[in-house]
Amino acid sequence: MARLIPLIVIAVSVYFWIKARRGAKAGPASGGGVSKGEVAKAAAALGLVPPEQLDTERVIPVVPEHAAARDAVRAGDWEAGAAFVAGAGRDWWERTRRITWLADEAVKDDAWLQAWRAARPDDPAAAAVHANALVYLAWEMRGDNRASHTSQEQFASFHRVLAEAREAFPRAQELAGDDPSPFIGELALAMGLGFPHERVEELWAEIEKRDPYHLSAHTSAMQYWCAKWRGSHELMHDFARRAAAKGRPGQLLTLLPLYAYFEQETHESDLKPQTFYGRPEVVAATDAALADVTAATQLLDRRDPRILQVRHLLAWMLFWQDRYVEAMEQYREVDGHIGCVPWNYSSDPKDRYVNTRDYTAAQYLKATRA
């Protein structure tokens, strides 16, 4: 099951919202003066990853340190999990990523987490993992189906476990100190239980006080403000613009306007992607994100999931803007691991990715060999 949590892209530190995406728009399989045969050959000519080798679960290969922590807690070694979180230090984005990674593991088997909490009842990391895991478990119990195809028993379990999470977050936040992670985690609960706007504003103030530039916090909060959850297009775009405006070069908050435009286009089935993404304000937002990524590569490893998260959306935007040379640069950087937006909003992420990438590759070869 696909999950949008920071360890995957981070993006994102929300567990469940991508599940609602079915039948989203994809790009053209051919056209624009490029034959199907040319499209098929172009990717191979550029050495791109074959479709059967694409990873639809992650945006980077599993980090060895993360894999070791996962294997340790699965074997019951909660102390390894505690050390794993502690290893993030005061890098709040990384700490959030590690907490959500462990919370996802706890959904499968929480015996190690129970032992951790029993041994260290006041451990802030254990409390945060526990609260997040309850939210993830609730959505696991609810399942992927629309409300009309979800049983009353599933809904009852869903709301029962979310109520437990609502009780767990205050304790995690009490122990958190400067760590924003349990406040960020509660944003997913806010969506599930429909917190009023005033309550989310209070929650956001606590997050901003601790880390005003936390990328995963912003992508999670923007989900709350979008039309499919508890807000509207207007509220979503306002939040995204304010986020981008406050960010310094390289902090990648320019992702938020791109993400908001993508959300709107996905939500409104009558919009034509090529027309919508070609609007001047969308092109300007794309250019701002391109500059931001360039700045970020001077501050972070170029394979940092945050940079890759932006590159994936840039590839999508540039594709629809017919900017194939620039789009190809993004596809080359992200190729191989595609477990994120925009691909996972489709019922067939691999098809959406390959369709747009290979068409871009064919157009790129046309442009550069002309």
Residues 224-237 have pLDDT tens digits of 999 999 999 999 99
* The pLDDT value given to residue 29: 44
For 24, residues 6+ apart whose C-beta sits below 8 A from its C-beta are: 266, 342, 345, 346, 347, 352
> Any bridge partners for residue 34, and if so which?
31
pLDDT at 31 over 70: no
Q: What are the tokens at 69? A: 């922590």
Peptide bond into 196 cis (omega under 30): no
Average pLDDT, the chain: 90
pLDDT at 247 over 90: yes
Higher pLDDT, 151 or 306: 306
* The pLDDT value given to residue 154: 87
> Any bridge partners for residue 196, and if so which?
none
> Any bridge partners for residue 337, and if so which?
55
The percentage of residues in the chain with a pLDDT greater than 70, rounded to a whole number, is 90
pLDDT at 33 over 80: no
Nearest to 181 by CA among 141, 137, 222, 217: 217
* The pLDDT value given to residue 370: 66
pLDDT at 3 over 60: no
- Weakest-pLDDT range from 27-36, 265-274, 282-291, 345-354: 27-36
346 with 19: CB under 8 angstroms? no
Give 187-238 pLDDT, tens digit per residue.
999 998 999 999 999 999 999 999 999 999 999 999 999 999 999 999 999 9
Torsion of the alpha carbons at 223, 227, 230 and 234, rounded to the nearest 10: 90
* The pLDDT value given to residue 194: 93
Q: Where are the domains of the chain?
A: 21-60+248-370, 64-211
Confidence band of 34 (pLDDT split at 50, 70, 90): confident
Max intra-chain CA distance, the chain: 68
